[in-house]
Copies of this chain bind each other. A is one copy, B any other.
């Protein structure tokens, strides 16, 4: 018997596929009711199964007419992305990061404008945070930005 988390994960992916779209909008409380669990269980599923790393974007709004939106990123370059994720890891230096950008630019996956933006975001002068932390923030940002870019 699959765990609750897996059931919800499956159901959401099913909906995503069935709707033939890459966007799914749900109500947290309704979904929770459907699976007879607490609403925060939905957050757990989203946090562990629908991460940027796995190719999903999650947006939400609170309050009246609130919602949760799950967006499946189209990854036409899965192996490249996998490679990127691996080479970035949990922490990365500015030099390493710049090498990656260079490489991607050479491959034509990044235009000049885009490269400049990424470059700005990973620069130590702009991050201005002390060192163990800085490389970790840079890694997270770089991964998220590249996924946003390359995942359709």
Contacts and interface: CB of A to CB of B under 8 A. Distances in A.
Interface of A: 2-3, 52, 64-65, 113-114, 116-121, 123, 126-129, 133, 137, 140-141, 144-145, 147-149
Given A65-B3, A113-B114, A149-B113, A144 B128 contact: no
Contact of A141 (B120, B147, B148, B149): B120
B120 A117 contact: no
B147 A137 contact: no
A118 B145 CA distance: 8
A141 B141 CA distance: 11
Given A3-B64, A3-B65, A148 B127 contact: no
B144 A120 contact: yes
Contacts of A149: 113, 116-117
Contacts of A137: 127-129, 137
Contact of A128 (B119, B123, B140, B148): B140
Most B CB contacts (10 A, CB to CB) among A116, A117, A140, A147 go to A117
Contact of A117 (B3, B126, B140, B148): B148
